[in-house]
């Protein structure tokens, strides 16, 4: 849950709207507004965290990094290849 709030804070700082954040991260408006309140009126914890990890991790999203959404059919096929052995063999031909 905390990582999702950090993603919300990062997106707010990048200038995304509430609706864009809500649709992309599949969270409620209340969560976005609470993070915004803590981000701009709080003690600065979110900004420190984002600044700390910005250089540590590349800017790519997890979705861009792996090329598919977690728990999608493609993700499951890659995660559990033996369950899809026959279809994987057919796809390679």
Helix axes 2-14, 18-25, angle to 10 degrees: 140
Element (DSSP H or E) covering residue 91? helix 85-92
CA–CA dist 53, 51 (Å, integer): 6
Structure tokens at 47: 């900004």
For the chain, percent of residues with pLDDT exceeding 90 = 9
Q: What is the pLDDT of residues 60-90, one digit of tens each?
A: 555 555 555 666 777 777 788 888 788 777 8
Q: What is the pLDDT of residues 21-75, one digit of tens each?
A: 999 888 899 999 988 888 777 776 666 766 666 665 555 555 555 555 666 777 7
pTM for this predicted structure: 0.50
**Do 81 and 88 meet the contact criterion of CB atoms below 8 Å apart?**
yes
pLDDT of residue 30: 92
């Amino acid at each position: 849950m905390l990582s999702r709030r950090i993603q919300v804070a990062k997106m707010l700082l990048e200038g995304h709207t509430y609706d864009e954040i809500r649709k992309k991260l599949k969270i409620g408006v209340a969560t976005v507004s609470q993070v915004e309140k803590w981000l701009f009126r709080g003690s600065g914890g979110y900004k420190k965290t984002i600044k700390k990890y910005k250089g540590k991790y590349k800017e790519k999203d997890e979705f861009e990094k792996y090329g598919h959404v977690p728990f999608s059919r493609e993700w499951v096929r890659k995660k559990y290849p033996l369950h899809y052995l026959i279809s994987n063999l057919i796809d390679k031909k």
